[in-house]
């Protein structure tokens, strides 16, 4: 074999090796780019999911705020009418119906009672409920103790007198009931010891600022 043939063969061998290396590098480069693209796609997907979740949270929060605005829209007018309800109740409590002799006074008292019933019915229709908790256990969520009385014969913490009824609007406290509470009597029974006890209306109440 001549030197020129050997030289050509050597060149061909080197060329083949170079081509194989180039092909391997190209394949490796494609694989790396593919992995990088997949990682980037995963990152974009994660960001998109986070953005969607944030948008959904904002939507839910806005919907909840709209619902609350509608649900508690009567707050201000309800507070303004509480004194009217109080005055109607005081007027009825100040008169002993059994001692009324003339028909005009009796009719007037009947009209006041009817007005109170209509007002309370309108309250109920709009989610406003009166709390008149005499005989119930004191609960700081919707009662305000004005005084305590000893030796009443009632369990300690029992409401023995309601000075002013309270009101709630749906699940929010409009005004606590002002009450007098028994002191130093036998302890009040726990809820699981009372037969057929209903849940107290003041549980988990929010207070309207």
- The pTM for the full model equals 0.61
Q: Is residue 99 pLDDT above 70, yes or no?
A: yes
Q: Is residue 89 pLDDT above 80, yes or no?
A: yes
Mean pLDDT of the chain: 81
How far apart, in whole angstroms, are the C-alpha atoms of residue 21 and residue 130? 88
Q: Looking at per-residue confidence, does 202 or 57 come out higher?
A: 57
How many Cα atoms occupy the beta-carbon half-sphere of 99 within 13 Å? 4
Domain positions in the chain: 1-71, 75-207
Q: Is residue 198 pLDDT above 70, yes or no?
A: no
Q: Is residue 1 pLDDT above 80, yes or no?
A: no
Q: Could you tell me the pLDDT band of residue 181, with boundaries at 50, 70 and 90? A: very high
The residue ranges of DSSP E strands in 74-142, in sequence order, are 128-131
- As a CATH number, domain 75-207 is 2.30.22.10
- Distance from the Cα of residue 35 to its chain's centroid: 47
What is the pLDDT, as a whole number, of residue 57? 94
What is the pLDDT, as a whole number, of residue 18? 54
Determine the 3-state secondary structure of 19 from DSSP. Answer: helix
User: Hey, CA dihedral for 57, 58, 63, 69, is it positive or negative?
Assistant: positive
How far apart, in whole angstroms, are the C-alpha atoms of residue 206 and residue 203? 9
Closest CA to 13 of 21, 24, 2, 28: 21
Q: Is residue 146 pLDDT above 70, yes or no?
A: yes
């Amino acid at each position: 074999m001549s030197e020129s043939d050997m030289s050509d063969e050597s060149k061909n061998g080197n060329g083949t090796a170079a081509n194989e290396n180039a092909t391997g590098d190209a394949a490796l480069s494609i694989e790396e780019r593919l992995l990088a693209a997949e990682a980037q796609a995963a990152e974009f997907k994660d960001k998109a999911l986070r953005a969607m979740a944030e948008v959904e949270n904002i939507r839910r929060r806005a919907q909840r705020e709209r619902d609350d605005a509608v649900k508690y829209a009567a707050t201000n007018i309800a507070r303004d009418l509480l004194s009217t309800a109080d005055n109607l109740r005081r007027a009825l409590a100040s008169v002993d119906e059994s001692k009324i002799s003339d028909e005009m006074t009796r009719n007037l008292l009947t009209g006041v009672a009817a007005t109170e019933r209509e007002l309370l019915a309108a309250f109920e229709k709009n989610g406003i409920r009166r709390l008149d908790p005499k005989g119930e256990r004191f609960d700081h969520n919707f009662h305000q103790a004005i005084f305590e009385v000893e030796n009443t014969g009632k369990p300690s913490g029992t409401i023995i007198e309601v000075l002013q009824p309270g009101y709630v609007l749906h699940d929010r406290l409009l005004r606590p009931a002002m009450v007098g509470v028994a002191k130093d009597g036998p302890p009040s029974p726990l809820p699981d010891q009372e037969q057929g006890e209903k849940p107290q209306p003041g549980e988990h109440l929010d207070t309207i600022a």
